[in-house]
Amino acid sequence: MVNVYILLKFNVMFSMDQDEKITIRISREALAEIDEFLETRQDLGTRSEFIRSACLRYIQQSRMGQDSKNGKVCVKLRGLTEKWLDKSVSLGLFSDLEDAVSSVITEFENDGSLTRVIEKKLEKFREADHVFEKFDSLQSDKRAFQVREYKKE
């Protein structure tokens, strides 16, 4: 296995003025895979930015997995939702943010919204699965046609 070295800046304290340089070993094949992927995703930045982001995302997902084993789930709140829930907590409607999120989810479940969301997702999955079945069928027909054409010649 041939290895190459790349340098990347790893943000230890999440502050750009305290970046540390490290060296990692990575196979040429893996590096080519990363480069190919980054060509199609300009928004991900440089190799270093991508690797740094991927490492941190891996850590975050691992921690979330540990929390879920303990009966906890991490929820990413967006903009206005987070503001509304924070305001509700500050008004004393909920004891804390965890209580607010738990109450909202319970209400979501009780009024049937959770069931409707899952049913919609299932329906979209079934539609996509049907499209893939058609595509697979067309691909099989196309290959069979190509084989028959080849045998004719």
Instruction: DSSP for 48-71, please give it.
Output: HHHHHHHHHHHHHHHHHHHHHHTT
Q: Which of 60, 50, 8, 4 is nearest to 27 (CA)?
A: 4
pLDDT at 30 over 70: yes
Average pLDDT over residues 89-115: 90
Task: Return the percentage of the chain with pLDDT > 70, whole number.
Answer: 70
CA atoms of 117 and 25, how far apart (whole Å): 45
pTM, rounded to two decimals: 0.39
φ/ψ (deg, to 5) at 46? -80, 175
The dihedral through the CA atoms of 87, 92, 96, 98 has a sign that is negative
pLDDT of residue 3: 39
